[in-house]
Amino acid sequence: MAAGGAAVAREPTGRVVLVDGALPGETVDAVLTEERSSYARARVTAVLEASPDRVSPPCPHVARGCGGCGWQHVSLEAQRRYKTELVAEALERIGGAPGTEVLPAPPASLAGYRTTLRLTSDGARPGYRRHRGHEVVPVDSCLVAHPLLAELLAVGDFGEATEVTLRCGARTGDRLAVLGPSSGGASLPGPVRVIGEDELAAGRRAWIFEEVGGKRLRLSAQSFFQASPEGADVLVSLVGSAIAGAPEGLLVDAYGGVGLFAATLGANRPVTLLECSASAAADARVNLPAASVRLVDVARWRASKAAVVVADPPRAGLGAAGVAALVASRASHLALVSCDPASLGRDAALLRAKGFNLEWAALVDMFPGTPHIEVVSRFVR
């Protein structure tokens, strides 16, 4: 299995073919969808010999072409196994750290977990795009949607909106709909806050609240947050384990967003939070009134002496500049949250070259039913 969710095949010439919808060990019929000199892509049209890991997708929209969840044909147990193997392979091949302990993700439910839905519309009902395509597959239900959002999707009228973002606080009951380019003509069952992208661009603010680890967090319409509070709970627990044993002193929450880790793990420490999103930084100032919140790119941060660093970078990872900035803090413990195995491998190699040992990595099944990978890693200087 390749990172991204396709299974790997080879033509007699040796060219790699990434086959969407296939699993290791299967015999399938497939049609080529993209050809390049070094590799090709294909899509399964028939399964001739199925893997024991294959299941019937539980969501009916998969058969209609919905590309929202790319691994509903894979059993949940196999998903966790494939993800563990992909992380171990990336740490060995890219990170130069063979034999690293990779802890599998604890089981997670496929149904009703997502508290943010991003949909698009071509003039009919909103929906999700086809896998590797632009065509919209309209939906009036979604297996992974939290019940608070499933109701909006089922009976809501989104007016003239072509882009729809639905968010909820699963533990507070708050709901928010962001419609673009405007909210004109929309009618949604309340209570729900409805706001247009044009209103946000004009400076209006809208937010919901969510609770994680006993902390109430403000989440603005344009601020990132994890897919579910249950997933956030697991992340917080693993990050707490990853920084265990760190000496007293400053905690740097790099790419800190609205303050999830600082709020839940920094109660007994001074905190500096680094974030380049103005919306998330504004939320962090509300959620962390005693912390120093810096609106800055981590790579440009002039390091202060710290005891411990928590870093949750975007998909591209820390990179050389981010690693250099955080290492300059002289922290002895660093917890890294990665959402791509390749970037984890690159960052692990960079940190190890700067004198950090990678002690373990642990998966979080933040997006069951998809090939998305989330990993927490413990580095000690």
| Catalytic center residues | 339
Provide the strand spans (E) within 160-203: 163-168, 175-180, 186-187, 193-196
Q: Which of 238, 258, 247 is nearest to 169 (CA)?
A: 258
List Cβ neighbours of 229 (8 Å cut-off, separation of 6 or more). Answer: 115, 170, 171, 210, 211, 212
Label residue 305 exposed, middle or buried (CB < 10 Å: 0-12, 13-18, 19+).
exposed
- The SS3 of residue 329 is coil
List Cβ neighbours of 267 (8 Å cut-off, separation of 6 or more). Answer: none
DSSP 332: S
Q: Which of 65, 173, 85, 76 is nearest to 128 (CA)?
A: 65
- The SS3 of residue 251 is strand
293 vs 298: CA distance, rounded Å: 12
Q: Are 208 and 217 in contact (CB under 8 A)?
A: no
302 vs 281: CA distance, rounded Å: 18
Give strand pairing partners of 357. Answer: 380
Q: Which of 170, 110, 171, 146 is nearest to 365 (CA)?
A: 110
For tokens 């917890």, the residue is 335
- The SS3 of residue 320 is helix
Q: Which of 68, 150, 66, 80 is nearest to 109 (CA)?
A: 80
Label residue 274 exposed, middle or buried (CB < 10 Å: 0-12, 13-18, 19+).
buried
Q: Are 50 and 7 in contact (CB under 8 A)?
A: no
375 vs 114: CA distance, rounded Å: 18
- Residue 290 has a CB neighbour count (10 Å cut-off) of 9
